[in-house]
Amino acid sequence: PAASAVSADDARGYLKGRGLADERVWDEASIGCVLTGKWANRVVVPVISPAGEWWGWVSRLWSREASDPYRTAPGMVLGGGMFNDAALMVETDDPVMVVEGCFDALPYWPDAVAALGKPKQLQVTSLMESKRPVAVCLDGDAWEEGMMLAARLQFEGQRAGFVRLPPKQDPNSVDTEWLREEVARCL
């Protein structure tokens, strides 16, 4: 096989190793990879507006550990839109999970949005306007921030709750069925 096929296989292997074996999710989330150049050996997850416009992307190095395994598109503004923002506009009683990173959201596709860090004011406004209940599931070290965000959303009239993850855990590292059960319970 061509060298590029082997490299793409490495990206697929990385995704599967992160618990993202469902290739349907790869397609629906438009996940890709970079095989050569400055951004080589990275899985790329686009951040797309509800209207289908690219806001930017998040990439993750798959080949080795580095001091900066995650990178975002140059010039991408963080704190505005969220990864999978369109999930907020789906009218349903099924909750949407709010997590910090794209790779935290992907195992719960399409029922999770990622703030690409801790949620900022514009993102909180989007959460208040969500057409579905909101379950805040920040990393284990940020549970107090998650609790406060859920309380604020409730104060503003949004059906919301939060899940306290174990210390040093994030939504991508815990059992997905456990977290889905906790999400249902928190609401």
Q: What is the value of pTM for the model shown?
A: 0.91
Domain with CATH 3.40.1360.10 in the chain: 85-186
Q: What pLDDT shows up at residue 79?
A: 87
CA pair distance 18, 158, nearest whole angstrom:
32
Token pair 């923002």 in the structure block, residue: 85
- Mean pLDDT, consecutive 10-residue segments, the chain of 187 residues? 62 91 95 91 93 92 82 89 96 98 96 97 97 98 98 98 97 97 97
Radius of gyration of the chain (CA): 16
124 within 8 A of 152, measured Cβ to Cβ: yes
Burial (CB < 10 A; 0-12, 13-18, 19+), residue 57, is buried
**CA-closest candidate to residue 133, choices 111, 160, 108:** 160
Q: What pLDDT shows up at residue 1?
A: 47
Q: What pLDDT shows up at residue 7?
A: 58
Quickly name the fold that domain 85-186 has: Dna Topoisomerase Vi A Subunit; Chain: A, domain 2 (3.40.1360)
